[in-house]
């Protein structure tokens, strides 16, 4: 009797996810989900180190344990929605780059409380959902020049890498030259350099969990050398969400200011195009695209991503988005949403491991190599920019360079949006400028003249 029930359940699951019809197996889907988790689980250490009150934000940050728990819960929820609803082998978690924007541009740079920043994230997720389920998404995708999309991705990569170099002590402040090399005789800086080298080696030789393994190796060496504390335990019950849950809803009325309009639009822009690119990239590797190159169930996939962002903000973390590390699971044979369900299961287990991850997150030099490597991977978009045509390369370069140099993703994005119409007019290609670009140019000009101090 029990075996019949299990057989029927297995058949229904197979039919819903299309495991057999996709040429996969339950075992392969579970293994692929495990590999995806290993490839992206570094977020459980890095996100709290960026957003938490024990990191660079200090008392302006979100309580550390609350960030960890929120990160894990958001990953579980978002990944399950993507796996069960959209049925794609793609995992979600708070995005690198967007968490840096949340922390360093919004909270630290603009002086906006993290509670209000969460409200901005929530609003961006709601708008994203509306765009995802309507045909407006196609018009928006076509309005923004492809070259600027590449530039935004690369610029965020440069910004994230710069944060990592700063946290590692490899790059430090200089009154004479703004920045300079740090002290390589410092134990913590040497530890970060060790972490960077081993992470790069793991990445180059093709290990799917390269970033995680690099963090583990750095943590172990740090503990042996006395630079990293030994955790008091291995597991404990998740807690801390009472400090963050619902804050995004409570402070939603505070979002409707000039500064927050720019914040929300930047979050929306980056998440929308990053998610679209990741979804198409992962689906292409899994041979899931239609013959014309379009994404099947695109509305469901993008809507699932937006639901992850909305739920993550309510739970208490920055924008939750699709992870390109999902390609690790796809390369291992994952083809259906069951892969994502498996990944979500591992994040649910990891939720109980705060004592371990808190030690890692509390030492910036341990997580810094992860930021640098993630920045390198994002900066590969530089190769897709058409550098031979100045009408593309100038706004792209301005976007990329202004993000790290002004310590603000929003500033770089705004500068690129302003320069693009200018150079296109000068080139005599005014008819190619979409009306949306003129509107964005006007908005960002207002941002610089009236909102930036």
Of 287 and 404, more confident: 404
Q: Is 433 left (phi over 0), alpha (psi -120 to 50) or beta?
A: beta
List Cα–Cα distances, 216 to 253, 326, 369, in angstroms.
Answer: 42, 20, 11
Closest listed residue to residue 124, CA positions, set 258, 311, 326: 311
Please, are residues 116 and 251 in contact by the beta-carbon 8 Å criterion?
yes
Residue 171 has a pLDDT of 94
Q: How confident is the model at residue 259 (pLDDT cuts 50, 70, 90)?
A: confident
For 391-436, the pLDDT digits (tens) are 999 999 999 999 999 888 888 888 999 999 999 999 999 999 989 8
Closest listed residue to residue 263, CA positions, set 140, 408, 162: 408
Closest listed residue to residue 370, CA positions, set 46, 122, 47: 46
Residue 82 has a pLDDT of 96
For residue 180, give the H/E element and its range.
strand 178-181
Q: How confident is the model at residue 448 (pLDDT cuts 50, 70, 90)?
A: confident
Closest listed residue to residue 354, CA positions, set 231, 214, 245: 231
pLDDT at 265 over 60: yes
Residue 141 has a pLDDT of 67
pLDDT at 452 over 70: no
Kindly report which listed range (23-32, 68-77, 112-121, 441-450) carries the lowest average pLDDT score. 441-450
Residue 272 has a pLDDT of 85
For 13-37, the pLDDT digits (tens) are 999 999 999 889 999 999 999 999 9
Neighbours of 156 (CB within 10 A): 30
Cα dihedral sign, 87-88-92-98: negative
pLDDT at 451 over 80: no
Please, are residues 321 and 95 in contact by the beta-carbon 8 Å criterion?
yes
Domain boundaries, the chain: 23-383
Residue 331 has a pLDDT of 83
Residue with tokens 């792209």: 396
- Mean pLDDT, range 64-85, rounded to an integer: 97
For 302-351, the pLDDT digits (tens) are 999 999 999 999 999 999 999 988 988 988 889 999 999 999 999 999 99
Tell me the residue ranges of DSSP E strands in 253-363. Answer: 320-322
pLDDT at 1 over 60: no
Residue 328 has a pLDDT of 87
For 142-192, the pLDDT digits (tens) are 778 888 888 988 888 898 899 899 989 999 999 999 999 999 999 999 999
């Amino acid at each position: 009797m029990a075996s019949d029930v299990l057989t029927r359940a297995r058949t229904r699951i197979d039919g819903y996810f299309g495991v057999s019809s996709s040429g996969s197996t339950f075992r392969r889907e579970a293994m692929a989900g495990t590999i995806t988790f290993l490839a992206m689980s570094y977020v459980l250490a890095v996100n709290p180190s960026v957003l938490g009150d024990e990191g660079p934000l200090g008392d302006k940050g979100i309580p550390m344990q609350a960030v960890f728990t929120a990160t894990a819960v958001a990953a579980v929820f978002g990944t399950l929605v993507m796996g069960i609803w959209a049925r794609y082998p793609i995992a979600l978690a708070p995005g690198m780059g967007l968490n840096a924007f949340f922390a360093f541009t919004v909270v630290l740079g603009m002086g906006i409380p993290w509670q209000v920043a969460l409200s901005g994230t929530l609003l961006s997720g709601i708008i994203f959902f509306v765009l995802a389920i309507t045909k407006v998404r196609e018009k928006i995708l076509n309005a923004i020049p492809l070259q600027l999309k590449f530039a935004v991705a690369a610029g965020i990569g440069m910004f994230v890498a710069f944060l990592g170099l700063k946290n590692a002590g490899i790059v430090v402040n200089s009154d004479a030259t703004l920045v300079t090399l740090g002290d390589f005789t410092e134990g913590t800086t040497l530890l970060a350099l060790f972490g960077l080298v081993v992470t790069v080696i793991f990445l180059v030789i093709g290990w799917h969990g390269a970033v995680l393994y690099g963090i583990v190796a750095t943590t172990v060496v740090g503990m042996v050398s006395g630079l990293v504390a030994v955790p008091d335990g291995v597991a404990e019950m998740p807690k801390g969400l009472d400090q963050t849950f619902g804050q995004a809803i409570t402070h939603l009325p505070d979002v409707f200011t000039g500064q927050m309009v720019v914040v929300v639009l930047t979050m929306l822009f980056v998440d929308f195009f990053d998610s679209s690119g990741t979804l198409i990239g992962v689906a292409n590797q899994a041979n899931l695209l239609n013959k014309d190159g379009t994404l099947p169930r695109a509305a469901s996939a993008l809507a699932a991503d937006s639901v992850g962002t909305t739920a993550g903000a309510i739970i208490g973390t920055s924008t939750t988005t699709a992870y390109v590390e999902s390609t690790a699971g796809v390369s291992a044979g994952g083809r259906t949403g069951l892969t994502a369900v498996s990944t979500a299961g591992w994040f649910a287990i990891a939720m109980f491991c705060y004592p371990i991850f808190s030690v890692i997150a509390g030492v910036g030099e341990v997580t810094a190599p992860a930021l640098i490597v993630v920045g390198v991977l994002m900066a590969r978009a530089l190769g897709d920019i058409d550098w031979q045509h100045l009408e593309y390369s100038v706004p792209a370069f301005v976007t990329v360079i202004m993000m790290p140099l002004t310590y603000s993703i929003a500033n770089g994005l705004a500068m690129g949006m302003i320069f693009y119409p200018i150079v296109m007019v000068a080139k005599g290609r005014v008819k190619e400028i979409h009306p949306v670009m003129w509107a964005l140019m006007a908005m960002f000009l207002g941002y610089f003249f009236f909102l930036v101090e």
